[in-house]
Structure 1
Amino acid sequence: MDLSAWNLPSAFPDLAGPARDEALAELCDRRQTLLLATPYLTFASRFVAIDKGAILVRATMSRSVAAHTLDRKDLQLRFPWGLTHYGGPTRILEYVQEEGGKHLRLALPQVLRRMEQRKAYRVDYVGRCQGTLGSDDGEGGMVFARFNVENLSTTGMAVFCTDPLPGRNFVPGRRVSAQFSLERGPDLETNVQVIHASGQSLGLAFLDLDPIDGQALASWLQPRFTEALRRWDNRAALRAQAVKAAAPRPAPQGLLVLGGEPDVIAEIQQALEGAQTVRVVPPVLVPLREALDQAPPRLLVVPCEGSVEGCHRLRSLLEKCPPRCPIVVLAAGGQRGTVNLFAQEIRAALTTDRAGQHPLFFRRLVTGLIRRHWQDPEAP
């Protein structure tokens, strides 16, 4: 990722019209955190929904505070977007208090623009980075507070202090010293200015970071910037995966045969005589996982010829992708002892001979297993 691209307008286009609506819909889908800010106060909240041409967010303040503090012309909406922060002017349309909670209906900003104080990309996934802040107590001594880094850039960082903060030592505008260690990286020391404070959380700007330390910090951040950008670019695919994972699973149906020679599969189909649908999947991890997720079977049939190498491969595959249905091991070779041992290791419901040897018995066996496991007396 090219850090010099920060000042390019194309890197941070304004969001208006459909682009704005799509961004807000995505923010609501993932319940993104946001800030409602005036020149004097900020309140944290979360996106909830787009409601009748307005933005619905959680109300984290009382009705009176909303009316007397946030009902101003200079109210701003601010939120993370694209490794930076965006926002725009808004106003409170309504304070809604229902059984489901308290919400604010906010006016939609016409345009959402970059609102980034640091003038640098931020990285949220910084690992275990810890340090200590030091401030003059005004009496010739020092007051210290330990912290964990929550996000980091080349110009500043957000921290959460694990020690209680004395009242006047770490307020906005205060200059303090900071020493911190980067996970698997250098130890840094610099003076910082407190930009904002909320409880134990502080926003800090680097003041006189040594150029050598600054280069070390940039080098440490570079691969993390690249990874953060990759996650951002892939967020649509990740959202689709999350929606798919949250969707109701389809009802189990039919048999899934894991590999096997064509003649073995043909015997299974002939023995069942259409009583159960039969699907075949190669003994490969990704196709097996997709087959189990997209259309889960009632029964997994595993043909096994009994070779040590083949049993090991199948066992490893089923350990990585365990099915949620009974497993029937089909002895497709002459080494029955190895097949029985393999069936025990994968906790198969039973082991039987090839379907072609006893087709009627195989069909009744399959039907009985399905009825017993799925408690479906009507199963064919």
Structure 2
Amino acid sequence: MTGHLIRNPETIEEIFKRACDRRELLILVTPYLRFESSFLRLEGGDLQAAATMGREDATYGLRNADLRMRFPHGVSFLEGATQLKGFGIAEGRRSLRLAIPELLQEEDHRKAYRVERVGRVPVTFSTPKYDLVTGTLVDISTTGARVFSTRDFGQGELQPGDDMAVTIPLTEAIRINTRVKVRHVHGRTFGVEYRPQLDERVLHPLSRWVFERREEDLERIARRGVETAAPGEGGKAEPPRPKGLVLVSGDGALETCLQNLLGGLQPLRRVASTVSALKEALGQNPALILYHLPTLGLDERRRLKAMAELTQGRVPLLLLGTAGVEGGPLLELGGEHKAAVSIVFNPERGTFFQRLVQGVLRRTYEGGESPMAPVESEAP
């Protein structure tokens, strides 16, 4: 995101007050997961947002040092770092208590995000000579639109800088009927800027609609992965991509459960909880190490320390607790050993776990196509 920074505490508080009044859409993202929520209210120096996921999913998904929030604001979008401070009840519904960002980054108004997947939307516009013409919408943003005319323009009929009116029935709830200034004309296609800026009754729903489409595009790109670079000159072979999941555990039942959950996406194999077994597994270039912690006893902690030192800087580490392991101490232990994720495994939340594993892999190997195929699942 590019644009200027908002640092003034009073300005930031006013922005969030307005977002709460509108129950504005809110996206919470970590390097591994994305959750959709909405603003509820400010209370006691915290921001209350709707809890659209279970308590466990929020605990393991959002307790991340890189947690950020994104939301629409007028003609632009804002983003800032936040922190999950706890849970509560707001207006009779479960809520997340979030830290108010000390800094918000605003997108450059001159580069407003344009939605190109608009479907077939008819547009009516009047030329400077008041001829009524129809067309179709090519793309749209919070500051302007691009339109394809159903007929050719005569010599000098439409020029950059001309003023005219347009009507764009984007959705049943969003109908834009405003004055615009022509910015460019290429054949039958022309771009316009809303002049004056859209009224808030139209701008806020449009901003939310554009923001949702942008988030869909970001999610689609993340799931697809980035194209791998072409091999370098001189015939040098590309290094083999990491592949496979390694479960460090003595629990065969856990292996079976994870095979059913992840085996169709990535090869998964189990190795013993010994330094020699892990060294051998690392030699085969795995994509992720899942380290099983059946307890958090002293012996388990000592063993983990030796194992974690082997993985650091080589392959991401996921700490996997099972029944009896408490989430809070596990998260602290994961932070101590720089684990990508620490989670108490619950088979009933398998879809969430799939998304979490995919997020770790995508984040780690974002320079190339994700080593794991996309997991099609509903948002929690």
The interval holding the TM-score normalised by the smaller chain is: 0.3 to 0.5
TM-score normalised per structure 1 = 0.34
**Greater RCO (CA < 8 Å, at least 6 residues apart):** 2
Q: TM-score with structure 2 length normalisation?
A: 0.34
